[in-house]
Amino acid sequence: MLDIKFLRMNPDVVKQNIKNKFQDEKLPLVDKVIELDQKNRDIKQEVEALRAERNKISKEIGACMAHGKKEEAEELKKKVQANADRVESLSAEEKDVEAEIKKIMMVIPNIIDPSVPIGKDDSENVEIEKFGEPVVPDYEIPYHTDIMESFDGIDLEAAGKVAGNGFYYLMGDIARLHSAVISYARDFMIDRGFTYCIPPFMIRSNVVTGVMSFAEMDSMMYKIEGEDLYLIGTSEHSMIGKFIDTMTKEEELPKTLTSYSPCFRKEKGAHGIEERGVYRIHQFEKQEMIVVCKPEESKQWYDKLWKNTVDLFRSMDIPVRTLECCSGDLADLKVKSCDVEAWSPRQKKYFEVGSCSNLGDAQARRLGIRVKGADGSKYFAHTLNNTVVAPPRMLIAFLENNLQADGSVKIPEVLRPYMGGKSEIRPK
């Protein structure tokens, strides 16, 4: 959410940013907010004048009473009552106006970083850098569910009967591999100085609207019927929510946390053939990282975060690339974002396995996450998040890149301690 003062002083900048995000239908909202903001300031000014007048009249009443002028005092009391009635009416109107301003401000997109490429959708995202050499072996790479089935490692049919489409049973070596990757990612981030955390898996609506846009909320979140609770779509939601309505001393920043959680998503919309199996599902597990820092340090932390994911994947011999998200592909709260994509030798292309985002002070402003400077100043923190690893989607890249000609799967050295020392797993 933008600072109302910034919008008031820079309406053309805000409008151009809306155009850059190809959301022209939101352009009238800027003028509407400016109109409401002026109305709100006029109300405040009138209320202040009325209260000053009330104080003045109250003194006059006291003087009248002291001199026995009861009739004059009674007339003045009527003025005080009329004054109070007007203040009450204006205060109610002020509350309504401020609620309307907030409602509109919540849908006006954050100002994107100048480095973000301008584009309408994800087809115009820009490749930044590749890490590792993509390899296409001279033997066939089966579809990922076929690889898993060769190990008796997945049962989609039974999951469909139990929970419907978008769910799965992982079993045996595949299930163990899934847990090994999560455990390795946890220790990887702890070794990089992040504090490990297991957060709540449900959050209240005020936290949901604090961490994401209404459009994201509608397309992603599952609501718990009859309660003010939502299942989290990623642990970033409850991790950032941990700092709601807090004032942190500047010297205590940055806060760097890595969290494990199950994640639940509606995943609305049609999915292509490459998204069968466990690519796009309603339930998965994830290791996440979040940072709460000073504004001047957020760009530096952004680069550190996506590099952590790249380093993790490269330690498992999986080629990856980074992709800069264009303006039209950025969620409304994001200042800048990039995807980490893993190489798929079967598809002979990269696909998304994680996303890194700098949200500036948007989440902090919505949730009241403030910092107290050494000089006594108070300001909103910046928040960032990034996927460490999210199996089972990550397992697709892992299995394809480590599948050997005989159908066995090589276990990289870094994962062997989590797999009972195995250097490979073999199909049944």
pLDDT of residue 274: 53
pLDDT of residue 36: 96
Q: What is the DSSP letter of 271?
A: -
pLDDT of residue 55: 82
Distance from C-alpha of 372 to C-alpha of 376, rounded to nearest angstrom: 6
User: Measured between alpha carbons, how far apart are the two ends of the chain, in Å?
Assistant: 54
Q: Which residue has the tokens 């579809």?
A: 143
CB 72 within 8 A of CB 25: no
For the chain of 428 residues, list the mean pLDDT of each consecutive stretch of 10: 94 98 97 96 90 82 78 79 86 94 95 97 96 95 95 95 93 97 98 98 95 83 94 95 97 98 80 67 94 97 98 97 97 96 96 96 97 96 97 93 97 97 95
- Pick the closest to residue 366 from 13, 35, 107 (CA basis): 107
Query: Count of CB atoms within 10 A of residue 194's CB?
Result: 20
pLDDT of residue 218: 80
pLDDT of residue 219: 81
In single-letter form, the type of residue at position 55 comes to N
Q: Residue 224 corresponds to which tokens in the numbers above?
A: 């718990």
pLDDT of residue 270: 44
H/E segment holding residue 300 = helix 298-315
- Pick the closest to residue 369 from 252, 194, 248 (CA basis): 248
Find the Cα–Cα–Cα–Cα dihedral 145, 151, 152, 153, rounded to 10°.
Answer: -60
pLDDT of residue 59: 81
pLDDT of residue 58: 81
